[in-house]
Structure formats: C-alpha cells, structure tokens
Amino acid sequence: MDIDSPYPLQAEQIAAFARDGHIKLKQVLSPAALAHHGAEITRLTIALNTQTRPLAERSTYDRAFLQVMNLWEHSAKVQQFVLGRRLGRIAAELLQVDGVRLYHDQSLYKEPGGGLTPAHADQYYWPLASDRTITAWIPLQAVPEAMGPLGFWSRSQSVEFGRQLGISDESEAKISANMARHGFAFASGPFELGEVSFHLGWTFHKAGANISDRPRAVMTVIYMDAQMRLAPALSAAQANDRDQWCPGVRPGQRVDTPKNPVVWQRA
C-alpha cells in the first residue's frame, strides 16, 4: 500500500498551490489502497450515520452529503489511512510548514439525488489562529461530473467577504455572486481514480449535485500546522468544533491533544 511512501511533489506545484489556494494531484493513492481502506470507510459511514430523513425533508446542508467525522477513532484500518504519511507530507509541503497534525477527518457521501454543496470556506467553522490549514479531498472512486466533483475559486483564499457564512442557501447565493463580480476563475472537473485535491481553509469552494445513480464516496482529512494554536471561538459553530476536536485546549495554547496527533514532521 502506498499510504506512507513519499509523493514526488514538484516546486512548481507548491508555488501553484500558494498562488491558487488549491491543487489537484494525480496518482496520489493506488486503486488497491483505495479499495482496501475505502471498504472500511464506507462500512463505518453507513454504521455511524445518524441521518434518517428522506432527502426531500432535509435542509440544504443535509441534502449535500452524509457526513461522519473522526472515523479514525473507530477503526485501526481507517486510523492507518488517516494518519498515512504520504498525504500528511504532501499537506505539510503545500503549506510550507515543518509538520502537520490532524484536525479531524470526515467522510462525505453524496447520495444519488443528493443536492449541491453550497459555496463556503471551511475555516468559518474552525477556531484556529492561523491560515495554515489544509483539506485533502480523497474520492474513493472516480468522480465524473454527474456525481458532483469538488470545484474551487482560484486565488480566493485572500477574500474576506463570505468568511462569516456557513454552508447554506445564503452562502451559495452571496459567495457565488461575489466571486463572479470580482472575476475569480472557478476550477472544476472530474476526478480520476487516485486523484486527490488539497485546498486551504480559506479557499472558497463548492460541489454540484449527484445526478448519477451511485453514491459519491469521499473521505477527507483536515490537517493543520503542527504548531497551530487555538483562537477564541467567534461563533457557536466554532465553539462546537473547539469542544469536539480540541478538547481541553484554551485560546493561545498549542492544539496538542490525543485527538490531534502529528501525522508528518520534517526530520
């Protein structure tokens, strides 16, 4: 399995990520590794999912995907995947930091007929003191356009308008309009098997609806600078994240708990 071996990241790719706030890399994980770990991720997503309402009765947020977090705490096989050094090293090199630790993981399964994932920036939810955060978006199968692949507004990581909006109909309307008004290019397209995208916490992004007849199975791993410190919570959503993913840490302290192990550190 290739979840711990180094990935040959190029200097031009690191520079492109710093400029655009996102990147999509080919052949990051092998089909064998995705099948081996993906079956367990899918099993746990189904077992731990608490969403039982029909799609038509859900909010926009809940129609976007089934969401189950910190699967790594429920399975040794998933823990091996989430703490894999290959992805962790890519994350650190893209962030241009000496090491990264886990913030949390989450599976995002967009059911057949599942709605769009509205425009947003992830770090709206995170009480973290710097922008050195990054999400690896890891499809467990190829993702054609019909399944709703993730897309990004390039260079939007410096835009402050919209950072106060959580995932909602309002965020979709206001952020999309602002991106268009300022001419930010939207980068989207299918994902090949083994292709993985990485984006900064403040990069605005969205995903389309799943109009196929199969679920879009995606695992995400969120990393932060290994030296990351907690910031005061600015909202109920951030207070919830603080309590779930950084238990016992106070503002100003480094986020160093059993839930936040170092995944990769430069020797």
Q: What is the mean pLDDT of residues 48-73?
A: 88
Q: pLDDT at position 126, please?
A: 98
Reported confidence tier of residue 50, pLDDT bands at 50, 70, 90: confident
Farthest-apart Cα atoms in the chain, separation: 51
Looking from the CA of 182 toward its CB, the CA atoms found within 13 Å total: 14
Looking from the CA of 121 toward its CB, the CA atoms found within 13 Å total: 28
d(CA 126, CA 135): 12
Q: pLDDT at position 1, please?
A: 57
CB 13 within 8 A of CB 23: yes
**Each residue of 191-250: pLDDT tens digit?**
999 999 999 999 999 999 999 999 999 999 999 999 999 999 999 999 999 999 999 999
The SS3 assignment for 178 reads helix
Q: pLDDT at position 228, please?
A: 98
**Structural domain spans, the chain:** 11-246
Q: What is the mean pLDDT of residues 168-172?
A: 96
Which residue intervals of the chain are DSSP H helices? Answer: 11-20, 31-48, 60-64, 76-82, 85-95, 169-181, 236-245
**Each residue of 92-109: pLDDT tens digit?**
999 999 999 999 999 999
**Each residue of 135-163: pLDDT tens digit?**
999 999 999 999 999 999 999 999 999 99
Span 11-246 CATH architecture: Sandwich (2.60)
Q: What is the dihedral of CA 229, 234, 237, 238, to 10 degrees?
A: 0
Distances (CA, A) of 174 to 58, 163, 255: 21, 11, 32
